Amino acid sequence: MTLLIVLPDRIQDAHNLATALRTINGDIDVRVWPDIGEAEAVEMVVAWHHRHGCLASFSNLRLVASFGAGVEHLLQDSGLATHVPIVRTVDPALVRGMAEYVVLAITDWRRGWSRYKDDQKRGSWRPQPYAFSSTVLLMGVGRMGSAVAEALVALGYRVIVWSRSGVTIEGAECVAGRKGLEEALPQADAVVCLLPLTSQTENILNCGLFSIMKPGTLLVNVGRGNHLVEPDLIDGLAVGKPGHAVLDVFREEPLPPEHSFWNHPNITLTPHIAALTDPMGAAECIAENWRRLQSGEALMDPVDRTQGY
Ligand code: NDP
Ligand code: OXD
């Protein structure tokens, strides 16, 4: 039976993943799209940004794995039969990469690191004070958010975590529900969006939330571009709520050259690199789910289609 890798815009990753999978389990017939072999033999697909509809011809498909943490790209494919389970691939490098990125974004902003880089270019010696305590609100406390929360707690930040079910993290304060979010927001110096994109979370970063932020708050969006209402951010930045935004994800990627975010003085942007899936680490997770599929054991990181993540 075949495990097919469909990563059309990440061909090198696809081949690295195939090599790693063959090393871990030489019995799997691993193929890289468009070399599908016998369509009826395809039992598992690993996909990222696949062309919607292209999985419909695999009549014996039993499992689809996202090559990453997000799954909206799979759930939005109406050609993917609803009886086929979906799993996420959350390798240790992805989790560590996210913790590193968010800590970097927050510490850069809090300590004024970028300003010192500019000062050095001008030969300017300008020590600046910085806040000795900071509160960070994390929206989303899953595999990514919990690692970020633990890293920030270890650095001495006051951390408030917001989730659907009220997840607790040692050393952090936990809130849930709309009321919990609205009570936490005005206390935060930095707000980080680490939510999955679902019908409940789309457009959640909007003028309603920005209006109850403290002036000068840092907003970090590493979830998805569709969490953010872009015109609301521009209006919010104009009045300092938020004071600055660090954005890694966008409604349209790559961000179009004419987009106003590129030159906004209060926006720092990166090209969706907050955390990258390591094909070697991912291969371990995918091979384990292949093994569990064959033996009928519970799958790792399953997606709840009704919740959308
Ligand atoms: P998880 O599924 O592990 O966690 C999702 C978290 O969001 C959970 O805490 C969940 O609550 C919470 N949540 C979901 N819906 C709601 C809601 N309506 N209200 C409040 N909380 C909610 O996801 P991950 O942590 O693995 O990843 C999160 C997202 O990060 C991904 O979906 C992806 O979009 C993004 N990502 C971005 C990357 C990048 O490079 N920019 C890299 C990797 C991921 P509960 O715990 O109660 O279920
Ligand atoms: C992911 C991502 O969801 O890289 O894994 O965005």
Compute, in angstroms, the gap from residue 69 CA to the centroid of ligand 1: 8
The reported pLDDT for the residue numbered 39 is 97
Atom 1 of ligand 1, residue of closest alpha carbon: 142
Specify whether 158 is catalytic: no
Token match 């075949």: residue?
2
pLDDT band at residue 280 under the 50/70/90 scheme: very high
CB of 303 shorter than 6 A to ligand 2: no
The reported pLDDT for the residue numbered 199 is 97
Distance CA 127, CA 134 (A): 19
pLDDT band at residue 68 under the 50/70/90 scheme: very high
pLDDT band at residue 41 under the 50/70/90 scheme: very high
Specify whether 73 is catalytic: no
pLDDT band at residue 16 under the 50/70/90 scheme: very high
Q: Which residues pair with 191 in a beta bridge?
A: 137, 219
Query: Can you read off the two tokens belonging to residue 191?
Result: 């707000």
Closest ligand relative to 13 C-alpha: 2
pLDDT band at residue 71 under the 50/70/90 scheme: very high
Asked if 101 and 248 count as a contact pair (C-beta separation under 8 A), the reply is yes
Q: In what order do the strands lie in the sheet with 29-32?
A: 29-32, 2-6, 42-47, 63-66, 86-87
Half-sphere exposure of 180 (CA within 13 A, CB side): 17
Catalytic residue among 50, 224, 227, 244: 224
Atom 6 of ligand 2, residue of closest alpha carbon: 70
Atom of ligand 2 nearest to the CA of 90: 5
CB of 69 shorter than 6 A to ligand 2: yes
Closest CA to 72 of 158, 195, 154: 195
pLDDT band at residue 232 under the 50/70/90 scheme: very high
Give the chain's mean pLDDT. Answer: 97
CB of 196 shorter than 6 A to ligand 2: no
Atom of ligand 1 nearest to the CA of 248: 41
Query: Can you read off the two tokens belonging to residue 146?
Result: 């919990």
The reported pLDDT for the residue numbered 282 is 97
Atom of ligand 1 nearest to the CA of 88: 26
pLDDT band at residue 255 under the 50/70/90 scheme: very high
The reported pLDDT for the residue numbered 214 is 97
pLDDT tens per residue, range 129-161 = 999 999 999 999 999 999 999 999 999 999 999
State which amino acid sits at residue 224. R
The reported pLDDT for the residue numbered 288 is 98
pLDDT tens per residue, range 167-222 = 999 999 999 999 999 999 999 999 999 999 999 999 999 999 999 999 999 999 99
